[in-house]
Structure formats: C-alpha cells, structure tokens
Amino acid sequence: MDLGVFTVLFQDRPLEEALDLVKANGLDAVEIGTGGHPGNAHCDPVELLNDDTKRREFQKKITDRGLKISALSCHSNPLHPDPRKAAQNHELFEQTVRLAAMLGVKHVITFSGCPGESEDSKHPVWVTCPWPTEHAEVLEWQWREKVIPYWKEQDRLLKEHGVLAAIEPHPGFNVYNTETSIRLREACGTNIGVNMDPSHFFWQGMDPVASIKKLAEADALFYFHAKDTSFDAGNTAVNGVLDTKPYTDEWNRSWMFRTIGYGQGEKTWRDIISALQLAGYEGVVSIEHEDSLMSVEEGFEKASAFLRSILIRERIGEVFWV
C-alpha cells in the first residue's frame, strides 16, 4: 500500500506548491479533484481533455516529483431530480472518466447520487426507514427507475475506457453503507466498486474492519480514504447520531470529522490497515482532511506522520509453525 492525499485540501495554493508539500511529507500519490463538491482548483478536465500539451505539462509536474495520480475525484449527484443539475453532474463524470483514461489513471471517485421521490421532485430524497410504507415505495422506485439504469449505462462507459468507478458510500445518497454498495455492483457491473471512507461508517455504527472483509469478498474494494470521526458522548446520548446541525456547530453536534488518530484511536486504525492488507488491497491510502479543529497544514502533517508509522508497505514474510 502507498500513502497519498486528496489535494483539494490545498486548493488555496498552486498545484506545484501543493505537490512540493506532499513530497516533503513522504507521500507517494495524489488524488486530484476535477469538479463537483471537491472543486477543481488543480485540474480543469475540459482544458486537459482538449489540449495535449497542457495535459502532458500537468502530468509532468506530478511525475517529476516522483509522485503518481492515484485517482480523479468528481463527487456529485448525477441522479439529481433537477434535469439541469443531473446533466451537468453526468457530464463532469463522463469527462473525468475520459481524462482518467488519457492519463492512465485507474480510478474515478464519486457518489452514487440520489434522485427525488418521483419524476416531479425538485430535491433529492434520502430514505432512511421503511415506514410509513410510502418510504419503502419511494426507495424501490429510486433503485428500479433511476439508480440501476443509470449505473448500468456508466458501467458500459467505464469498460469502454478501462476505468473503475469507486463509489463512496455516503449518507444522503442511495449508496451509503456496505449492503447498498454491494447491491449497486451486483446490479450494474464489475467496473463499479467502492471508495471506502471509514469516517462515514463510524458514525453510522458500522465496523470498518467487518465492512472491508465483506467488500473484499464481493471484489468491490477499489479505493480507500483516510478520515476519522469522533463522538460527543453527551450529545449522542441525548440526540443519537442522526444530526442535521451544521458541521461548524461542533459544541452541540453528536459527532464530527477528525484527523486520523483523533477520533477512534491508534488501535482501531492499526486494525483497519491490517484488514486492508489481509484483503489484498494494494492501492493507495488517501488522506482526506475535514477536521474543523485543526488547520489544513497541522491536520495533514499529523495524519501523514501517523499513517506512515503504521502503514504496511509490503508483506514481510510468512510464518510457519513447526
């Protein structure tokens, strides 16, 4: 496994400066945002698709520093009930897939998306319970009419370009846990898998180690984000984990995203890295920073140092009992 970073946390500085910082911290790879929720501060997919010289210059900045591109990311909602937004998000996904193929990048990271409750919806509707029965009916309609048809078509696009889509399970979208991740892959195709971000698993009450095992058994573990989550025991005891307060309201929230090691602790993260190793994961562990209690620089440096200390670079040897 290699160590990398999702470079959108450095979107306030030029690409060259961000790459130098990544290299100085001993990392191997960068994940680049092409648009959508991450933004595209370092990569304009339209420009790079249409200009061979600029595309080569972009790639050279990375390879000259001994780094590689681990993934292109375009987190968005291609199933948005607003046709204009859906079309924009789909176009971004298609552009990102095509650019990944041109750059020799294997993975594109995104969300599954979430439609509305009917053809007349204006906003996405995330179903979290089966009753009243209208909720279950909406969920069935979403998967049958929107989710599966769209991603079946994208699986064909991905196969055409030799690229894999690593869907990040995220609350608010139809794919948000292990079960729905495997459902999407089984229904839509083998070029669709998972970008696992344990931070979303933690607060939903899932065990990332158990999920890694299930995803590996389904041959669906494509990519991995390193981000942590901490809980406020008092707020959780009173309100549970379904928390709609702003992420900036840290004092009153039940949980919040943290830098690696400031949420679940070293033992948990050692177990996660070991589970990835046992699952045969040979990709990148990509640091993602959304810790509102730390600056970008501090969070990145702490996460880099922590993960470097526990990352399993290779299988050292076999143990035999005689």
Domain count, the chain: 1
CA distance 16 to 139: 45
Q: Tell me the whole-structure pTM to 2 decimals.
A: 0.94
The pLDDT score that the predictor gives to residue 312 is 63
- CATH of residue 230's domain is 3.20.20.150
Kindly state whether residue 304 falls inside one of the protein's structural domains: yes
In angstroms and rounded to an integer, the radius of gyration of the C-alpha atoms of the chain is 20
The pLDDT score that the predictor gives to residue 19 is 97
Kindly state whether residue 315 falls inside one of the protein's structural domains: no
Kindly state whether residue 69 falls inside one of the protein's structural domains: yes
Kindly state whether residue 270 falls inside one of the protein's structural domains: yes
What is the extent of the structural domain holding 287?
Answer: 2-310
260 and 282 in contact (C-beta within 8 Å)? no
The number of angstroms, rounded, from the C-alpha of 283 to the middle of its chain's C-alpha atoms is 13
Kindly state whether residue 320 falls inside one of the protein's structural domains: no
* 132 upstream amide cis, omega within 30 of 0: yes
The pLDDT score that the predictor gives to residue 41 is 85
CA nearest to 174, candidates 162, 161, 188: 188
Kindly state whether residue 9 falls inside one of the protein's structural domains: yes
Tens-level pLDDT at each residue, the chain (322 residues):
999 999 999 999 999 999 999 999 999 999 999 999 988 889 999 999 999 999 999 999 999 999 999 999 999 999 999 999 999 999 999 999 999 999 999 999 999 999 999 999 999 999 999 999 999 999 999 999 999 999 999 999 999 999 999 999 999 999 999 999 999 999 999 999 999 999 999 999 999 999 999 999 999 999 999 999 999 999 999 999 999 999 999 999 999 999 999 999 999 999 999 999 999 999 999 999 999 999 999 999 999 999 999 986 544 444 434 3
